[in-house]
Amino acid sequence: MSTAYATRPSPSPLRAGRRRRVASRRRAAALLGVLVLTLFALSLMVGQTFYGPGEVWRVVLGQDVPGASFTVGTLRLPRAVLGLVAGASLGIAGVTFQTMLRNPLASPDIIGISAGASAAAVVGIVVLRVDEALVSGMAIVAALVTALVIYLLAYRDGVLGTRLILIGIGIAAMLDSVVAYVIVRAAAWDLQVAMRWLTGSLNGATWGIVLPLVVAAAVLMPALLAQSRQLDLLQHGDDTASALGVRVERTRLTVIVAAVALIAFATAAAGPIAFVAFLAGPIAARVVGAGGSLMIPAALTGALLVLAADLAGQHLFGTRYPVGVITGVLGAPYLVYLLIRTNRAGGSL
């Protein structure tokens, strides 16, 4: 019996180690997935009236349940889906930028791309009074234009990096002031809208707001995932990546456009939910470990952050806070920590 085992060729240490690491990354990602599903279910169940999993499930299947059909089907479900998809979009787009620019500070919400989408959306809603579809369109165009402006301002012999981040932070500040200016001039009764465009919020989620984002995510996330191997090779520097067969500029362009569009759709639907794009990647890296693509773990972490922050903001305190206030409180200390740490490490970001 024991000899039968002994004669079987044992996997080499190389293979065993790689398998072990892949298995542990998958386990960690699966754990994140389970957490996301749990929070998603909780957001459908919990509220002023509690509905059990059975009732929620029947509503999701489209059956008519008195009371629950409206509360869960019309109010809670779009909100939960918005949290799920916006969070995942921000997470995957954030980690894409951080990986591509090899810097945790280089997330689209720090370097002004979310702010570009916000500013356009706010101008569209408050000043031009256009409808939702057009707002999404404006946000996407503005985000792409913002990304292009930052890229061009930072471009010198194709070198990106610290300069791009500093320019992005400056652009973000300018665009945030546009948002603040428009909101100050907006009608006072429109506080929900104001909060949404200042910090991001899932309030007032309807299928009309959620569906464009869901469709965009269904197209853009696979497009990003298809580039994940190339993106991982870019971490070794452009020269090494190119020597390993990566078409560097083409990969970068594809990935920028897809990630910026995701950010824009998510921002058009839920506002610039603070720091989710920035936090999701580093948290996912801690949870699953290094060596593999962080895209899926970061998407799950982003969804987790938004769903958890929204649940907490809605039910944990006496007042209801929009989701962005909670994620902002979580994200700001990390930003400060990162700035201090990078400053200690040599002062050049």
Partner 1 sequence: MTDSHTLVAERVSLGYGDRTVVEGLDLTVPPGRITAIVGANACGKSTLLRALSRLLAPSQGQVVLDGKAVHTQPTKAVARTMGLLPQSPLAPEGIAVADLVARGRSPHQRMLSRWAVADEQAVEEALGLTGTSDLVDRAVDELSGGQRQRVWIAMALAQQTDILLLDEPTTYLDICHQIEVLDLLTDLNRTRGTTIVMVLHDLNLAARYADHLVAMCGGRLLAGGRPEDVLTAATVEQVFGLRSQVVADPVSGKPMVLPIGRHHTSTPSPAHAHAAPHAR
- The nearest distance, CB 47 to partner 1, in angstroms, is 41
Instruction: Give 58 or 236: the residue with its C-beta nearer to partner 1.
Output: 236
CB-nearer residue toward partner 1: 24 or 69: 24
Owner of token pair 């952050």: 305
By CB under 8 A, the residues from 260 to 319 that bind partner 1 are 285, 289-292
Q: Which two tokens stand for residue 155?
A: 């471009």
Shortest Cβ 21–partner 1 spacing (Å): 6
Q: Does 58 bind partner 1 (CB under 8 A)?
A: no
Nearer to partner 1, 21 or 58 (CB): 21
List the one residue from 13, 62, 318, 346 that touches partner 1 (CB under 8 A).
13
Kindly state whether residue 173 participates in binding partner 1, applying the rule CB under 8 A.
Answer: no
Closest contact distance (angstroms) between CB of 275 and partner 1 is 21
Helix (H) or strand (E) holding 98: helix 77-100
- The residue among 176 and 238 lying less far from partner 1, judged by its C-beta, is 238
User: How many residues can be counted in the chain?
Assistant: 349
Q: For residue 253, give Cα distances in angstroms to 32, 106, 224, 271.
A: 30, 16, 11, 25
Which one of residues 27, 229, 315, 320 is an interface residue with partner 1 (CB under 8 A)? Answer: 229
Q: Which is nearer to partner 1, 59 or 92 (CB)?
A: 92
What 8-state DSSP symbol labels residue 235? T
Considering only CA atoms, which of 339, 300, 269, 282 is closest in space to residue 86?
A: 269
Q: Is 218 in the site for partner 1 (CB under 8 A)?
A: no
Cα-Cα-Cα-Cα torsion 175, 276, 84, 210, nearest 10 degrees, comes to 0
CA 134/CA 208 separation, integer angstroms = 12
Distances (CA, A) of 197 to 66, 201, 212, 276: 34, 8, 18, 15
Contact 122, 183 (CB under 8 A): yes
Q: What whole-number distance in Å separates Cα of residue 135 and Cα of residue 273?
A: 17
Kindly state the smallest distance separating residue 318's Cβ from partner 1, in Å: 41
3 state DSSP class of 30 = helix
Binding residue for partner 1, selected from 24, 162, 242, 342, defined by CB under 8 A: 242
Tokens of 96: 């894409």
The window from 57-65, 195-203, 212-220, 228-236 that contacts partner 1 (CB under 8 A) reads 228-236
Q: Which of 244, 316, 339, 340 binds partner 1 (CB under 8 A)?
A: 244
Give SS3 for 213.
Answer: helix
Exactly one of 44, 122, 154, 233 binds partner 1 (CB under 8 A); that residue is 233
The SS3 assignment for 134 reads: helix
Work out whether 222 is an interface residue with partner 1 (CB under 8 A): no
Residue type, 286: R
Told to check if 54 binds partner 1 by CB under 8 A, we report no
Question: Measured between alpha carbons, how far is 282 from 104 in angstroms, rounded to an integer?
Answer: 7
- Taking CB under 8 A as the rule, which mask of x and - marks residues 144-163 in contact with partner 1? -------------x------
The contact mask relative to partner 1 for 21-40 (x = CB under 8 A, - = no) is x-------------------
The contact set with partner 1 (CB under 8 A) reads 12-15, 17-18, 21, 102, 157, 226, 229, 232-233, 235-240, 242-247, 285, 289-292
